[in-house]
A and B are shown apart, each in its own frame.
Chain A
C-alpha cells in the first residue's frame, strides 16, 4: 500500500513545500478511493446494460418468432381454404355440366359471392385443352398441354402459381386443381384465376393482427415481392432486403440457436443505416415465403428509458461518491496534518527539554569546577588585602586595593553566573501549596515596586477576583513572575507601564498575563528567548538563563508560557497553569530527586 500511496511525511521529504506534500497525498488518496468505488460501479453498470440488452433481445426474438409462426399459419390456412373451396365446388361427375357456359357462370357467380377477388374460371380436359371459360377476358380455346403448371397439376393434383400479369395484364395468381373422373377414366382440371388483391388484402389483414412487425409481405423463391411491401420494395420486383447479407451478431445467433426455428430464417440486416430483423418462413404448399421485418427493437422506449435511468443512477452515484470521497480525503489529510503538527510540536518540546537538560548538566559540571578556582582567587585576593592592611600601607596601596576590589567584584559576578547555572540544572522538589495567585502576584510586584518607581514605570493590576486558588509551588512561581517582570522592567527602561492580569480559562486552568508597553521582541529574537544563555542585555547584565529557567519551571509545574509581541508596541507573556498539580509530574519530580541524591 505504501508503494501505491506514499505517506505525507515521505512526500514532504522529497519536496520543499509541506502543503504541496499534503495536497499530493490528498490527491493520491482521492484517486485510490475513486478507483475503488468507480471501477465496480462502472463494471456493474456495463453488466446491467449488457444483461438488460440480452433480455430485451431475447424477448424481442420470442415475439418475432411467435408472430412469424402465427402469420405463417394464418396465411397457409387461407391458401388451403381457397384450394379446398375450389376442390369442393368441382365434383368429378359435373365435368359435362361445367362445359355448359351457363353452368360455369353460375358456379363462378357463387364463388365470387364468397371471394370477390376471383377473376375468371376455366375447365381444361385431360389433354390440356381449355373446354370452357368464364370471365371478363377473351381467353377461350387455349392449349395448356406443354405448360409447366399444367404438368404440375396433373402430377401433384394441385397447383398455385406465383403472382404474374400474363394475358390479363393484371397481377393475379392461379389455383388449379385436378379433378379425378373415375367414370370416364380421364381427369380434368379446374383453374381459377384470383386477383392479387385478394392475397394482398389478406396479408394486410394479417399484418394488422400481428402489428409487432413493421413490414409483412410475401416473396417467391427468387425474392420477387408477391404482395406490396410497405417499405421494402414493390410488388413484382425484387424486394430490397433480399440481396442484403445478414450482419454477424453472436448474441442473436446464440439466441436463435437456443430456439426452435425450424423452417425459419432470422437474420439481422442493415438497411439505410438502421439495423432490422429480417425473418422469413416457408408457406407450405405454396410458392411463397413469408417475410416479417422488424425495424427497431420492440422495447425501444423501454430500452431508451432504461439507458436514461442507468446513466442517471450512474451519474448520481458518481457525483455522490466523488463528493463523499473528496470529503473523506480532505478529512483524513486534515487529521494527518493535525497529528503531524502535534507530533512536531511534541518533538520540538522534547528536543528543547533535552537541550535544556544537556546544557544544564554541562553547565552544572562547568560551574562546579569553576567554583573551586573562583574560591581560590577569592581567598588569594582576600589574603593580599589582609597583608596590605597588616603592612600598614605602601606606595601603590590605593591602586592595589582598587585592583583587588576589581578581582573580588569579578569573582562575585562569576559566582552569580555559576550559582544560576547550578540552579538551572537542579531538579528541586516541587512543594505543593494552595496558592491565591492574585496574592502571589502582588507579593512579587512588592519586590520590584521600588525599582519600577525609580524608572517611572507604573504597574497596574487587572486581576480576576473570582479566580480559583491553585495547587502549585509557591517559590518557583515567584521566581518565574520575578524573572519575567524583571525582564519587562529592563525592556521598558524608563517611562512605561506593566499590567499584571489573571483570569480563569476553564475549570482546570488559569492564566496570568504580564504585559508591557516596551519595545517588543523582533520575531528572530522571539524564537530564541527560551534558549539558555540567550540574552539581548549588555554583557555582564544578564546571564541569559532567566527565561530559560522560567520556561523549565512552568513546564515542570504542568503549565505553559506563550509570548505575544509586536515591535514598538509591547510584549505579553501568558503563563497558563493547571489548577491542580498533575500527579504524574509530582511522581516524576520525586523520582528525579531520588536519583539526584
Chain B
C-alpha cells in the first residue's frame, strides 16, 4: 500500500478531510477533494490508484464521475460511498465498473478491507 495513491471525492468537506486524516494515520497516501469536477481535475494531476467516490454530489452525480474516471483510466479502482442505505444503488454502481460500495456512515475497518482488496486486485493486474 506504500505506493498506492488514494483520492477521496466527497462534497462533505469535514467527512472527506477526517477520512483522509484517518487513512493517513494508517499509512495510506490519501488526498481529498470536494466536488466531482475537482475530482476529475485532480485525477490527472496525482494519478490515483484507488478512488473513494460519493454517489451524490451537487455538481456531478457520482455515477457520471465514475464513468469519466473509467474513461480516463480503467485501471483505477473506485469504491462508492452511498448514503441511500440500500444495496441497490451500490450494486448499480458496481455494474457500471465500481470495485465495491460502502454505506454511510462508514465503518473504517470495513472500508479498509475494501481498500486492501482493491489494491490487491490492482497489484495482480
**Chain A residues close to B by CB (< 8 Å):** 367-368, 371-372, 374-380, 382-383, 386, 390, 411, 414-415, 418-419, 421-423, 426, 428, 597
Contacts and interface: CB of A to CB of B under 8 A. Distances in A.
A368 B83 contact: yes
Given A375-B15, A376-B14, A379-B19, A411 B105 contact: yes
Given A371-B105, A378-B105, A428-B88, 16 more contacts: A368-B84, A368-B85, A371-B83, A371-B85, A372-B12, A372-B83, A375-B83, A375-B105, A376-B14, A379-B14, A379-B15, A379-B19, A379-B22, A386-B22, A418-B85, A423-B85
A367 B19 CA distance: 21
A427 to B, nearest CB: 10
B103 interface: yes
Contacts, number: 66
A84 to B, nearest CB: 134
B21 interface: yes
A375 B84 CA distance: 13
A380 B14 contact: yes
Given A419-B85, A421-B85, A372 B22 contact: no
B88 A372 contact: no
Given A371-B104, A419-B103, A376 B86 contact: no
B11 to A, nearest CB: 9
Contacts of B88: 426, 428
Interface residues of B, number: 20
A383 B84 CA distance: 24
A414 B105 CA distance: 9
Given A372-B83, A374-B105, A383 B21 contact: yes
A430 to B, nearest CB: 13
Given A382-B22, A386-B22, A390-B25, A375 B85 contact: no
A383 B85 contact: no
A379 B108 CA distance: 8
Nearest to A416: B85
B18 interface: yes
Contacts of A375: 12, 15, 83, 104-106
16 contacts: A371-B85, A372-B15, A374-B105, A375-B12, A375-B106, A376-B14, A377-B105, A379-B22, A379-B106, A380-B14, A380-B18, A383-B22, A390-B25, A415-B105, A421-B85, A597-B92
B27 to A, nearest CB: 12
B80 to A, nearest CB: 14
Nearest to A378: B105
A521 to B, nearest CB: 29
Contact of A374 (B18, B86, B104): B104
Nearest to A381: B18
Nearest to A379: B18
A375 B83 CA distance: 9
Given A386-B22, A386-B25, A367 B85 contact: yes
Nearest to A596: B88
A64 B106 CA distance: 120
Nearest to A389: B25
A44 to B, nearest CB: 76
A421 B25 CA distance: 34
Interface in B70-92: 83-86, 88, 92
A367 B22 CA distance: 25
Contacts of A383: 18, 21-22, 25
Contacts of A368: 56, 83-85
A28 B104 CA distance: 65
Contact of A376 (B12, B103, B108): B12
Contacts of B92: 597
Interface in B3-39: 12, 14-15, 18-19, 21-22, 25
A419 B104 CA distance: 9
Given A372-B12, A376-B14, A422 B86 contact: yes
Contacts of A378: 105-106
Contacts of A374: 104-105
Interface string B105-123: 1101000000000000000
A70 B108 CA distance: 135
A503 B60 CA distance: 53
Contacts of B83: 368, 371-372, 375
A426 B86 CA distance: 8
Contact of B84 (A377, A390, A422): A422
Contacts of B56: 368
